[in-house]
């Protein structure tokens, strides 16, 4: 749309209203997290007590720690698998792999969740931290694969040819040439996987069983109980952390989000 710098007034107004629709809910939520009132209606006064309540909430802290552990393991394992898959798909045609990678991106999460639940129960695998982590790795691999493939798209293959001509083994050139070249894509993939894992609710909900909880699961059960300002405080912190992580990922791999 080059050369079209005549934006009509009505379009400007509509656009502003849509941005308001996007941001107002989050702003209200953040503002109320500092509000000295039990109910989220009207401003009473400034307080940090909801944050104090939050940091004293053992269950929620434990859930957050679980989330971190799962996300660290899931993103690390899925980065290894996803990088292998990304490189394989870039260099060769692997129809089975490309289909498998597309499943979690295209299928409704609910289906992935219930089929994994069935699977774990039928193979007598105890539901808990381990089953959540295995499920998270499964859907994170796809996104890492896409990130790595995107990064390799513009890569110069002559480096690898040169390495081989100079007598480097495939393994050596993989670790010394290929990995450093696609490292930004790998790191972006890792961050993406980490964010996806920390954020996931639906698949976790089905694969968690009764004993273990993650941060989204804990927030969900709080919401089922009713609206409380403690959730506002938790949400505010989550929004800020997500913002930082994703801006780092965008910096590393801008073409990922195009």
Partner 1 sequence: MIHMNNAGKEKWVLSLPPVIYLVGLFLIPTILMIFIAFREPGDYGGVAPLITHNNGSTSLNLTLDGFRYAFSSSFIWKLFLRSMLYSILTTFCCLLIGYPLALLIAKSAKKYRDLLLLLVIIPFWSNFLIRVYAWMILLGPNSAISNVVNSIRHLFGLEPLDLLFSSAAVIICLVYINLPFMILPLYANLEKHDYALIEASRDLGANKSRSFWQITVPLSMPGILAGCGLVFIPCIGMFVIPELVGNNCSMMIGNLIKQQFLQTMNWPLGSVTSIVMTLLVLSISLFVGFLASRSGGLKYARK
Nearer to partner 1, 14 or 48 (CB): 14
Interacting residues with partner 1 between 33 and 62 (CB under 8 A): 39-41
- 180 near partner 1 (CB under 8 A): no
Q: Which of 63, 71, 87, 193 binds partner 1 (CB under 8 A)?
A: 87
Q: Shortest gap between Cβ of 54 and partner 1 (angstroms)?
A: 14
Question: What SS3 string covers 86-120?
Answer: HHHHHHCCCHHHHHHHHHHHHCCHHHHHHHHHHHH
State yes or no: residue 157 binds partner 1 (CB under 8 A): no
Instruction: Please tell me whether residue 196 binds partner 1 under the rule CB under 8 A.
Output: no
Q: Tell me if 172 contacts partner 1 by CB under 8 A.
A: no
Q: How far apart are CA 83 and CA 175, in angstroms?
A: 12
Q: What's the sign of the alpha-carbon dihedral 150, 153, 156, 162?
A: positive
Number of residues engaging partner 1 in binding (CB under 8 A): 86
Q: Give the residue, chosen from 59, 62, 118, 158, that forms a contact with partner 1 under the rule CB under 8 A.
A: 118
Query: What are 191's two structure tokens?
Result: 């961050």
Binder among 48, 170, 251, 255 for partner 1 (CB under 8 A): 170
The residues with which 46 forms a beta bridge, in sequence order, are 35
Backbone angles phi, psi at 46, to 5 degrees: -80, 135
End-to-end CA distance of the chain: 17
Task: Check residue 244 for interaction with partner 1 (CB under 8 A).
Answer: no
């Amino acid at each position: 749309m080059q050369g079209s710098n005549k934006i009509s007034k009505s379009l400007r107004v509509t656009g502003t209203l849509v941005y308001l629709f996007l941001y107002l809910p989050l702003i209200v939520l953040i503002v109320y997290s500092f509000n000295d009132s039990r109910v989220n209606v009207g401003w009473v006064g400034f307080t940090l007590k909801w944050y104090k309540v939050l940091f004293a909430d053992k269950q929620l802290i434990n859930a957050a720690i679980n989330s971190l552990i799962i996300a660290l393991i899931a993103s690390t394992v899925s980065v290894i698998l996803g990088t292998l898959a990304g490189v394989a798909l870039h260099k060769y045609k692997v129809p089975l792999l490309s289909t498998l990678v597309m499943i979690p991106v295209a299928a409704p999460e609910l289906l992935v969740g219930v089929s994994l639940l069935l699977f774990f129960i039928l193979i007598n695998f105890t539901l808990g931290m381990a089953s959540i982590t295995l499920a998270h790795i499964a859907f994170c691999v796809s996104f890492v694969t896409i990130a790595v493939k995107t990064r390799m798209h513009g890569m110069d293959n002559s480096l690898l040819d040169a390495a081989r001509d100079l007598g480097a083994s495939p393994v050596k050139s993989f670790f010394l040439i290929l990995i450093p070249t696609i490292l930004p894509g790998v790191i972006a993939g890792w961050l993406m996987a980490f964010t996806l894992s920390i954020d996931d609710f639906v698949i976790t909900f089905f694969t968690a069983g009764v004993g273990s909880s993650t941060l989204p699961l804990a927030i969900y059960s709080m919401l089922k109980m009713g609206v409380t300002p403690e959730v506002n405080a938790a949400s505010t912190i989550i929004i800020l952390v997500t913002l930082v992580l994703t801006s780092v990922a965008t910096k590393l791999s801008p073409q990922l989000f195009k």
